[in-house]
Amino acid sequence: MLFSLGGISQLENDLFDVYKDFCNGIKTLATTENSIVRLRKYYKGLVEETFALVHLTSFPDEHKKKFLRFIALIISRGFVCLDLLENRKGNESCFSLPEYKRHELICDMDKPGNKN
């Protein structure tokens, strides 16, 4: 479960750092994948796997619920970032980093539109 949660955390970090990592030549799933749809599918799969694994633990159900609520707050940030990236340049099917400017790849969580 923790390994799966670590995968979510790493991918989310890579999504938020996609511009910086691309400029620095760092290869991550977010900088090498050319489909936001596939990135979202992979991220969602990790989320579903993690939630399922939490339910398989021997912790009391109330503790599981609290933990899932807590990590859902963090996970939702990844979906906000994926939404932002997916809506770049009119939902093109190909996500090509060289075609984007810095401001198009930065997900500012303080913007009012990202807080909904």
pLDDT for 115 beyond 70: no
The pLDDT value given to residue 87: 79
The model's pLDDT over 30-56, given as tens digits with 9 standing for 90+, comes to 999 988 889 999 999 999 999 999 999
Q: 113: which 2 tokens?
A: 């539109």
Domain locations in the chain?
2-114
Which ranges of 1-116 would DSSP assign to H, the alpha helix?
A: 2-16, 18-23, 29-32, 36-56, 61-86, 102-105
Higher pLDDT, 10 or 94: 10
Higher pLDDT, 37 or 116: 37
Judge whether 22 and 95 are in contact, CB under 8 Å. Answer: no
Rg (CA), the chain: 15
pLDDT for 21 beyond 80: yes
